[in-house]
Structure 1
Amino acid sequence: MDANQRSRANPFGMDEACTNCPELCEPRTQVVHGYGDVAADFLFVGERPSAEADEMGIPFATEDGRDGLYRMLERLGLSKTDSDPASPEVVNVYLTTLTRCRDPERPPTDEEIDTCEPYLNAEIRMVNPEILIPVGERALEAIATEYTTRPASDFEIEAAHATTIRGRGFELVPMLEPEEQTDEQTQAWLEHFVDLMASDYRQTKGRQGR
């Protein structure tokens, strides 16, 4: 699977007509695969596409493109403030979700998350980030199960928010869903991540320097 960095949207050319989860095919607008820098150090994983992502095809999209996670990325210098919300210019960041399709009436089932897992695993393998950022409880559970030696039941998103968890090959920096954060929680996460970015966070994993 080759990367096409000329496009931030679905740069690995994953199946945009996927029908692996039949009950998600009818309600979805489109399949929303990962978006961003294929050589990113920071990989964000949410639970499922937002309503706006389902319309625009961009993970974590919001109505005006200046709220939520993208606003936090702008404050970190990881997204350009004047970029088009339909094609945000993220820097050193890759964005994806556990499931690629949205049912507006319900969250994904465990079976649907399991069915989509090969897409996520392929993105993590190809991007080979340094830091994984699970966004929300469901993403933390999935990422912790796969990439730490501790049971997922050890982690609770409220307590893990704005902390660093040592994983197997990656560090995890969990985040509450942006729309659920208080201003204080947002500031705490940003300050923690700024400190991490200023540290020697890169591990020896055979990746080339940026």
Structure 2
Amino acid sequence: MHRILLARPDDYEGWRDAARALALADVAPDAIGWNVEGEAGDLFGDGGNDAVPPPVRPAFSVPKRFLDLAETVLLHRDPERFALLYAMLLRLRDDPDRIDDEADPLRRRLDLLAKEVRRDIHKMRAFVRFREVDGRYVAWFEPVHHIVRANAGFFQRRFANMHWSILTPELSIHWDGAVLSEAPGAARGDGPAGDPVEALWKGYYASIFNPARLKTGAMLKEMPRRYWANMPETALIPELIAGARARETRMVERTMPGGNATNAWAALREEAAHCTRCGLFRCATQTVFGEGPVDADIMIVGEQPGDQEDLAGKPFVGPAGQLLDRAMAEAGLDRSRIYVTNAVKHFKFEPRGKRRIHAKPNAGEITACRWWIDQEKAIIRPSRIVLLGTTAIYSLIGKAQTLTSQRGRDLMLDGIRARATIHPSFLLRMPDKDRTEQAFTMFVEDLRAASR
């Protein structure tokens, strides 16, 4: 048995040099004992390695992809990682193309180990919380794998102007603004208990917590409870979840058989009034929710509220709304029997002096507001939906589509028949009067077709 002792659990260079020498000597994987100095299982009393036999094979090279994979896998805590990588090295020595065989069980296992390491690296970057202690920022973190050295450069670059320390059970790293240094591991009690800024941070976190987006299972998958002790805001999560669940339960009860759809809609509207799912709420006057009978047969979805809608808190009351009313009247539609709403509930604009000029919402803002449209649709349960413009199409279909490709077609949205047409604001922007009248006539026909 050839005994190899590595200096550290993440000693990639030591493993690489030893593995290459052993491979040139044609030493079989099961004839090697890999150990780390100071770890349980270190049987080397003298701290030395066995001599490697002389080479019996010519020098060889392996794909860089394997070296990158090995550098990541070596950070895993699996004690078999050294032997697994050496076994793959021997395969690639004889057949470098084996690195591309994704069906190979050994390759799949190494890929899984690398994936778990990358996930742990991401978690450290996401969940480290610094607390100020005498002008220095200190954080406590418990990684799953040996990632602290590999991750140090990220924190050095991101917090280059801070003096900070990250304490972990096996290794601590310190940055003084110029030099990155290491120290032995620490205990949880060595980390700071808190600082005055945390109260402000908790208040901010509670204010942006949105129950409409709460998916506890997904949250725990991305932020397991093992990390909660390191973050001040996590102490608020149980209470915030309980409050969100209580509100959700009340809404569900109102929509169950025997419940009241009007009350369910009112509860939804109240929730939307406090929506902070995207940044548009910061500048808008208020949330502009949908309006109309909860048993409406037709639901019309526009883009977003305009200046007058933002001030009034009602959809389609400005120039575009007046044009929509006129078109609906000519199409034989009674607005009082139609539910009208928008894909985005807050007014997005650009200030021009005293005026607020409409700005088109982006994909992230549309996606953030999609939850409200889905709930409106579930409560109203229309048999037909009219989509006014590409933003409404994106919101309801879930991907960008041109109006030309969708107009005039029967679309099915969760079993509901839908039609796409222009937004009335498009007519207001047309400079040619004759073309505007033609476009208006086509708009009326689209509404009439949707009503049928």
Question: Comparing both chains, which one has the higher relative contact order based on Cα–Cα distances under 8 Å and sequence gaps of 6 or more?
Answer: 1
1:107 paired residue number: 360
1:71 Cα deviation from its structure 2 partner: 1.6
Give the paired residue count: 177
2:327 paired residue number: 72
**Residues 170 and 17 of structure 1: CA distance in aligned 2, closer, same or farther (over 3 Å):** closer
Distance 1:195 1:114 in 2: 28
For structure 2, the 5+ residue unaligned runs are 1-250, 252-259, 351-358, 428-435
1:120 Cα deviation from its structure 2 partner: 0.8
Letter of the 1:94 partner, please give it.
Y
Distance 1:134 1:159 in 2: 13
Aligned-pair identity in percent equals: 23
2:339 paired residue number: 94
**Residues 116 and 192 of structure 1: CA distance in aligned 2, closer, same or farther (over 3 Å):** closer
Letter of the 2:281 partner, please give it.
C
**Residues 172 and 116 of structure 1: CA distance in aligned 2, closer, same or farther (over 3 Å):** same
Q: Give 4+ residue runs of structure 1 displaced > 6 Å after superposition.
A: none
For structure 1, the 5+ residue unaligned runs are 80-89, 146-151, 200-210
Asked if 2 retains the 8 angstrom alpha-carbon contact of 1:19 and 1:25, the reply is yes
2:306 paired residue number: 50
2:84 paired residue number: none
Choose which of 180, 186, 203 in structure 1 pairs with 2:440. Answer: 186
1:21 Cα deviation from its structure 2 partner: 3.7
Distance 2:437 2:324 in 1: 13
**Residues 180 and 21 of structure 1: CA distance in aligned 2, closer, same or farther (over 3 Å):** same
Which one has the largest radius of gyration? 2
The TM-score, its normalising length taken from structure 1, stands at 0.71
1:103 Cα deviation from its structure 2 partner: 2.2
Residue correspondence of structure 1 range 23-172 to structure 2 within 5 A:
23-63=279-319, 67-79=322-334, 90-105=335-350, 106-145=359-398, 152=399, 155-172=401-418
Asked if 2 retains the 8 angstrom alpha-carbon contact of 1:3 and 1:13, the reply is no
1:167 Cα deviation from its structure 2 partner: 4.1
Distance 2:362 2:450 in 1: 33
**Cα RMSD, aligned residues only:** 2.7
1:16 Cα deviation from its structure 2 partner: 5.1
Show CA shifts across 1:38-81 (max 9, x none).
Answer: 1111111112111111111111221496x2212212223434xx
Distance 1:64 1:125 in 2: 26
1:188 Cα deviation from its structure 2 partner: 2.2
Letter of the 1:141 partner, please give it.
Y
Show CA shifts across 1:128-183 (max 9, x none).
Answer: 111111111121122223xxxxxx45x42135334433444011111111121332
SS at match of 1:15: helix
Letter of the 2:371 partner, please give it.
P
Which structure has greater helix proportion? 2
The TM-score, its normalising length taken from structure 2, stands at 0.36
Distance 1:19 1:140 in 2: 22
SS at match of 2:420: coil
Distance 1:113 1:38 in 2: 23
Distance 1:10 1:71 in 2: 28
Asked if 2 retains the 8 angstrom alpha-carbon contact of 1:32 and 1:54, the reply is yes
Letter of the 1:189 partner, please give it.
F
Distance 1:164 1:120 in 2: 20
Distance 2:366 2:405 in 1: 24
Asked if 2 retains the 8 angstrom alpha-carbon contact of 1:162 and 1:188, the reply is no
**Residues 135 and 10 of structure 1: CA distance in aligned 2, closer, same or farther (over 3 Å):** farther
1:4 aligns with 2:262: yes
**Residues 192 and 138 of structure 1: CA distance in aligned 2, closer, same or farther (over 3 Å):** closer
